Structure formats: C-alpha cells, structure tokens
Structure 1
Amino acid sequence: MIRIVFDCERMKYVNTGLYYYCLNLGKAIQQNISQEQLSLFIPKQAVSTFDASLTCINQHSLQKFFMPSLNGFDVWHSTYQNSHYLPVRNKKIKVLLTIHDLNFLHEDKSDQKKERCLAHLQRNIDRCDAIVCISEFTQNDVLTHCNTDGKPVHVIYNGTNGLPQPALEEKSYRPVTPFLFNIGVIAPKKNQHQILPLLQYNPKLELVLAGRHEDKEYARFLRQQASELNVEDRMHLVNEITEGEKSWYYHNCQAVVMPSLAEGFGLPVTEAMSIGKPVFLSKRTALPEIGKDMAFYFHDLDNMQEAFTAGMYQYNKAGNQLKEAMKAYSAQFNWEDSARKYIDVYRSLS
C-alpha cells in the first residue's frame, strides 16, 4: 500500500485558486484511489471540508522549521511550487512537486527578484523526485529555466471547478446594466487596467473586477485610471467573493475578459466556458493553450475594442452551437481525470 500525504497548506487562504485546487483535486484523489492510503497536511480550519475518515496532519507555521515525523509515509505531494513545507531531512519519502507557473519571469520584476524566486523554486526542485506542471507552457518554462536533473516532468491539466447555484448576498454588488467580468488577484500581471477603455467605447457596460487586492498600489492605479477615463462609476472592485457570488457573476455577465500577462493555466477560462459564456483573452503565456479556438483573443492589448466587437458579433451569430461546443470543451478538463493521472505518478514513485 502506498501511503500519500497530500499538502493542503494553501487552504488557509479561502476563496483562492489554490484553495479550490487542493479541495477539488484532493477529493477526486480520495474517490479514485484503490491501493493507496491518503492523508492530508492541512490547516485545522479546513479539515471539515474533507471526508472525516481521512487522517490529517495539522499544519502550523513552525513546521517551516521542524516538519512532523513522516515515518511510514511513502509520498509527499507538495501542491504549491513555492512551499516552505517540504520533508527536507527525511530522504526516504518521495516528493512530488506541482508547479503551477513561473509567472515571475513574465512580470515586470527586477532581475534580482526573478533570480531570488528562481533560486527558491530550484531548491524545491532539488528535493523532489518528480514534477507535475499544469500546462505545457509551464513545463517549457521549467525545462528552460530550471535544472530538473533528469527527473520526470509531467503535464496534468487542472479540472474545471463546478459552479454552484448562483447567489448574491445582501452585501454583494449587483450590476444595474450589462457587465463584463474579470476574476483573479488585483495585480499588474492580470493587466486589468487595459479593460477600462472598453467601458469608454461601450457606455452601457459595467465592469466587475473580483479578487484579492494582492497589489494595493495597483488597485489605486486602477481607480485613478478609471477616473481619468471618466468610467469610475462603472468599474467595480468587489474584492474576494464567495463561490455563489462567482457563479452569479459568471451566469449574468456579457463576457469574461482576461488580458493577463502571466497565467500558468487560467481557471476562469474553463469555468466561463462550462456555462457557454464568451471568453476574451490575451495571447500571452498559457492562455492560448487552454482557450484554444473556443476563446476570442486580443491581438493588440492597447486597442481591444475591435477584437471585442468582432468576437461578440461572432458569438451572438453562432448562437447555441458555439455555446454547446464551449461546454463540451470545458468538460474535458475534469478533476477525476486529473486525479487518476496524479495517482499514476504516485505509483511510479513507489
């Protein structure tokens, strides 16, 4: 029997992509294992989200320096590439490292900061025995910029997160006119300020930007840009939202707009497509790989109106045929398939 520890440390940050990555993949792995035993390394407040039958190792910050005894375990799955929680001293346990992105290489960061980020990632790669990347783009970045020393580097796509019943709360912002939707951290790499000119060209549209303010200076810049363009009354920064709110915004928006500069996968792409909503993307990093010909693309991020107008016309003209094709495409990204592929990797390490 292979005894696996599945690292859910990132679940201490609720309503984030990594929270739902750990939750959905962890549940799917539990449902698909046969000759394995799954245990969780997890913050105490997140334990109740999983089946009570699972063994849990409670995560706390001191374990950055003193990891718990892992005697009897065969595989440690580190689900976050920059984790500080790795069994460094226990060399008997095999380590699988999931790498979501090397976005820092594609952002406007100093060479010194890029080198620091790369050095930390390299230390985790040095300790691991196998690597999973969530896109071919990320795999190429890893093979180009890191020393994998001949270790296997797999690609396993994320699943599409299922959308619950749409539900706004009393405190939620409810748009009064048709709106565009963008979800993700508020940060320069998401490039949300370049959506604002679309509001100038389309005076009946609003824009809902949902996500944690990772870069508060950039959030201030967004407000300043909106004011200068005279669209501040139609741009709404709603911060972090619940799954019910997210589902409502997806179901009721005109389109999802992601002019991101750096994405390792781009979960909103397949989430929006799962209900047949049009998705407009930049052509940067992993987005074309995930969106393929089911998405619309901005060829010029400084002039997005032309692509937006043409894409919406094409989408509306195609009608249900395109919507159903998008739904079918999104369904190819599912956590059960991802889990079975991860289990194959666990078995290869035993």
Structure 2
Amino acid sequence: MKFPHSGLYHYCQNLAQHINSVLLEEEQELMRMYLPPNKKLTLTDEPWHLVERKWHKFLQPFLNDCQVWHAPFQSGRILPNKRKFPHLKVVLTVHDLNVLHEGKPEQEQQKSIARTQTLIDQSDAIVCISEFTKNDLLSHCHTNGKPVHVIYNGLNRSPTSVGDVAAYKPNREFLLGIGYLNKKKNFHVLLPLLQSNPDLELIIIGHHDDPAYVSQMKEWAQNEDVAERLHLLGTVSEADKMWYLSHCKALVHPSLAEGFGLPVIEAMQFGKPVFLSDRTSLPEVGGKVAFYFTDFEASTIQNVFKKGMSAYQEQALATAIIDNAKRFNWDKSAREYVSVYRSLMQ
C-alpha cells in the first residue's frame, strides 16, 4: 500500500474495510491491517491498523494469537515465518501472472514465477482474482493440492454526485484511459482514434511508470499531428477520476495483460461503453457488453470503435453495461474471503 494511486492499494483498502464490516455485523473480532510506515500512506488511522516497525524483523508478538495471515499479492515481501508460528495459516492472493503475457525475456518470466511459487509453497490456500489468473496459476505453478479459489475484486461505487474537476478540464468530448503509463498498457495504439475522430480528445490518467514510453508516445502523437488532443495527466485525485469517468465518451483500455481490470467496471457503472483488448482477463470482466480489439492495427482500432459506438447508441446498451458492473461487489467478495479464512480455522 505504498502507492495510493494503484489498483493494489484500493484492493487492500476496500477489502479490509468490507471484511471488517462483515465481522462487525457478526460481532466478531476485527481483522487487523499490517501497513507500511505512516509517512508512506494516505489512510487515516483506524483501531485495526498495525504499522510496520523496524524491530518487527526480530520480534512479532502480534502473531502469537493470529490464526490467519492474508498475503494480498503474489510477489509481496512480507510473509510470516511458519517455523516460528506453526499454528498460523496463510492465504495468498494471486492477482496475475502477467509477466507471461508481456513479451518479457524468458529469464525474467522464470524469476517472477519462482518468486510466486515460493509464496505458494508457504501458503495454505490461494485466491485468484479471475478465472484467467487461476488457469495461468494451475498451468505454470504447483499448488500441491492446496485449495484454489476465485474471488473477484469488488467495485468502488461512484459517489451520488460528482463535483467539478480540479485537473485539466476538456472543452469537447474525450476518450479516457486509466492505468500506469507503460508498454504493457499499450495506450499508444489508440492514437489512430484521434486521426479518425478530429473532434475527440484522448485523456490518460495514471502514474508515468515508464518515462521512455511516455516520451515515445508524445513523439508519435507529434508525428501524427494529434499531440494537441493527447493529454497524459499522470496521477489525479479520486474525485477527479470520478469526474473523468462520468463525463467521458468511452473508456479505452487496450492492455496486453490484466489479472482483472478495475477501470473497466469503474467506467461501466456509469453506463459508459468500454473498448478493450481481447487479452487475458479482460473478456471475463467486460463480458458481452464490451467491445474488443482483436489486434492493434490502426484500421482495427478505428473500425471497432466506430462500430461499437454505433451499437452502443442504436441498441441503448447503457443499462446492460451498468448491470454487468453490478456483478462485482466488495461486500460479496469480503464474505467469500471470510469463508476462506474460516475454512482454515476449522
């Protein structure tokens, strides 16, 4: 949770809050969150927060009475020593094995898989956030008979009202991209949409994760004479993100690899059309009411967008799109996680 504008940050925050809501409802003891130092967080203090200290490397008295430890990411750095705490059960959430789908060198792929395998070996149950991730896991890792569950991420519900935007405010219709700006997200393939739609802007929000890619994308936009309609805003506040989601013409998400794809359902809750790559977990999350790029040729990108926008308007798909987003619910996800915890405590 060191990076507040990441999907993993919101996953941890929302899951913990909803699990504790379930436990409060059942009058059970709350789950505690083990957090990095306060200076790296934007969370307000809560009674169930436990902040990491340097001396925890040597002493961890809070584990003496702990029954279940949930490791929320497949390459996380913190996992209890089960030799010291043999009573402790560990749940590991695997978000993705995206390294297999990003065109990375074989050595880098194997190193990443080996790290995940190490955590699997120390776990008692595994949760995957999509069926696609589960299939990847079973194909490339050894679970040794441990239970593997699929629990979808929930949806950060939109506020009842959305205020004005503090960051850049466009004065015409715009397409929206959300995510770390790097090669994996593949945003540069969208530039042909600006060529074929001269009245549209493209706004992309998210951390500039790969400066070389950011510079290259700006250069491509300049060469294609669309640079004035491309806006790479970097990170924005949650309030501004909601404004962009509620006002965009469509969400465009041509990512090469996703374990889930939270921006997809964030846009869908507003009834917005979404245009996705057909890779990894995205068809599973977008369902039948999303539109898919089957390749990234300029003509494909332009044709899919044109036909998709026509279908969206002619078939009045907004209600069906909102219904698809409703499949993903943090309260339901929290209850499923609590069930996994309890299965290990019996």
TM-score band by shorter chain is over 0.9
Q: 1:166·1:246 contact (CA, 8 Å) conserved in 2?
A: no
Task: Determine the C-alpha separation between the residues in 1 that align with 2:257 and 2:214.
Answer: 18
Match of 1:261 among 256, 262, 267: 256
1:22-64 per-residue CA deviation (whole Å, 9 max, x = no partner) reads 11111110011234431110134348546x342x32125775x
Which residue pairs with 1:68 in the alignment?
60
Unaligned runs of 5+ in 2: none
Report the Cα distance in structure 2 between the residues aligned to 1:206 and 1:47, rounded to whole angstroms. Answer: 31
Q: Does residue 305 in structure 1 map to residue 295 in structure 2?
A: no
The match for 1:29 is 19
Corresponding residue number in structure 2 for 1:6? none
Structure 2 letter corresponding to 1:311? G
Q: What SS is found at the alignment partner of 1:304?
A: helix
Cα distance in 1 for partners of 2:67, 2:259 equals: 28
C-alpha separation in 2, matches of 1:202 and 1:47: 39
Evaluate the alpha carbon distance shift between residue 295 and residue 47 of structure 1 in structure 2; reply closer, same or farther with a 3 A threshold.
closer
Query: RMSD in angstroms over aligned alpha carbons?
Result: 1.7
The answer to whether the 8 A contact 1:41-1:59 is kept is: yes
- Aligned pair count reads 334
CA distance in 1, matches of 2:129, 2:105: 26
Counterpart of 2:35 in 1: which secondary structure? strand
The list of structure 1 runs, each at least 4 consecutive aligned residues, that deviate by more than 4 angstroms after superposition, is 60-63
- More deviation, 114-123/295-304: 295-304
Residue of structure 2 in register with 1:15 after alignment? 5
Which residue does 1:80 correspond to in 2? 73
Contact 1:163-1:243 at 8 Å conserved across structures: no
Return the offset for 1:116: 1.0
Counterpart of 2:328 (choices 312, 315, 333) is: 333
Q: What's the TM-score once normalised by structure 2's chain length? A: 0.92
Q: 1:315 and 2:312 equivalent?
A: yes
Give the match's secondary structure for 2:142: coil
Q: With the length of structure 1 as denominator, give the TM-score of the two structures.
A: 0.91
Shift in Å at residue 68 of structure 1? Answer: 2.4
Alignment match of 2:201 (pick from 206, 213, 216)? 206
Equivalent residue for 1:346? 341
Q: Give the counterpart letter for 1:75 in structure 2.
A: V
Contact preservation (8 Å) 2:251, 2:273: yes
Matched residue of 2:171: which SS? coil
Partner amino acid, structure 1, of 2:113: L
Cα distance, 1:301 vs structure 2 = 1.6
Q: State whether structure 2 residue 121 is matched by structure 1 residue 126.
A: yes
User: Does residue 228 of the first structure (1) align with residue 186 of the second (2)?
Assistant: no
Q: What is the one-letter code of the residue matched to 1:111?
A: E
Q: Please, which of 103, 106, 109 is the counterpart of residue 111 of structure 1?
A: 106
| 328-337 or 27-36: bigger deviation | 27-36
Which residue identity lines up with residue 115 of structure 1 in the other structure?
A: Q
Distance 1:43 1:205 in 2: 41
Structure 1 residues 48 and 208: alpha-carbon distance in aligned structure 2, compared to 1, 3 A threshold: closer
Deviations 1:119-149 (A, max 9, x none): 1111111111100000000000000001111
**Secondary structure, in 3 states, of the residue corresponding to 1:37?**
coil
Local SS of the residue matching 1:119: helix
**Residue 166 of structure 1 aligns to which amino acid in structure 2?**
V
Change (3 A) 1:162 1:71: same
- Alpha carbons 2:175, 2:200 under 8 Å: kept: yes
Which sections of structure 1, spanning at least 5 residues, go unmatched?
A: 1-9
Counterpart of 1:4 in structure 2 is: none
Aligned-pair CA distance for 1:169: 4.8
- Pick one of 68, 72, 86 that aligns with 1:91: 86
- The one of 35, 40, 43 equivalent to 1:42 is 35
SS at match of 1:222: helix
Query: Aligned to 2:242, which of 239, 247, 255?
Result: 247
| Contact 2:287-2:324 within 8 A present in 1 as well | no
Cα pair distance change 1:67/1:284, threshold 3 Å: farther
Matched, 1:291 2:286: yes
Check whether the contact 2:165–2:243 (CA below 8 A) recurs between aligned residues: no
Change (3 A) 1:185 1:60: farther
Partner of 2:274: 279
Distance across 2 between alignment mates of 1:217 and 1:67: 42
**What letter matches 2:5 in structure 1?**
N
The verdict on how the C-alpha distance between 1:67 and 1:152 changes in structure 2, with shifts beyond 3 A counting, is: farther
Residues 1:284 and 1:61: Cα distance change in structure 2 (over 3 Å): farther
CA distance in 2 between partners of 1:84 and 1:190 (Å): 25
CA–CA separation in structure 1 for the residues paired with 2:86 and 2:219 = 52
The whole-number CA distance in structure 1 between the counterparts of 2:121 and 2:289 is: 38
Question: CA contact under 8 A between 2:5 and 2:207: conserved in structure 1?
Answer: no
Q: How many Å separate the matches in 1 of 2:50 and 2:242?
A: 32
Query: In 2, Cα distance between the equivalents of 1:335 and 1:305?
Result: 35
- Identity between Structure 1 and Structure 2 (%): 46
Counterpart of 1:136 in structure 2 is 131
